[in-house]
Structure 1
């Protein structure tokens, strides 16, 4: 049986502000923006190249978690330095490139799977970019 992570709820105070941040600054694609009875608004966004999406919500309509309480969500990118530069160019306050050395954070890139950049959304939900191996070229040389 195949199990696939589909959706991660991210609690926010202001859904519109969070939608702008994740779509315009971080570069996620807006998949759905719907309003349900009772004033519940659901905004689903997907990171480029990901099969898993996030859903933004305020109040108990999406998640009972408090805004800013989600920490440690990781996105894997093939080049953490380039991803950091892209976020900076879009106005996202991001930390420096770091790696883990002797069990503690150290400045600068490490090996594959050991280079990270951290940032928070406007509500304080914490994200990490982790450098993974570059994806192999598609068959036939395209890629």
Structure 2
């Protein structure tokens, strides 16, 4: 199953540090990990919410990844607000196992920067300039 996840700067850094092969553990006030089913929905969150959020670094990245179909089916699709807002709700304590069922790597597909974002984005990697790791190429 192909899924998407909008992330802010801190979460993106942790994904990069994990070699683009795992999402970081949830914080104590985050009981669920919620990947979304469409790139459009992830784009809306990254563009409209993350870019205005200080804790996201005033920037939002859309990530795309694959999870083994059989494993993903254990999480029923949830509707969060509107019909086009489909998510899977993975309990925080199951995220480590969820990560073990990722197929390949987590890819960055888009980046959005708000007016308060500080820094520059490398157009080739979609990462902030100065980061040492670049995202893997498809299939690596």
TM-score by length of 2: 0.26
RCO higher in structure (CA 8 A, sep ≥6): 2
**Which protein has the bigger strand share?**
1
TM-score (norm 1): 0.26
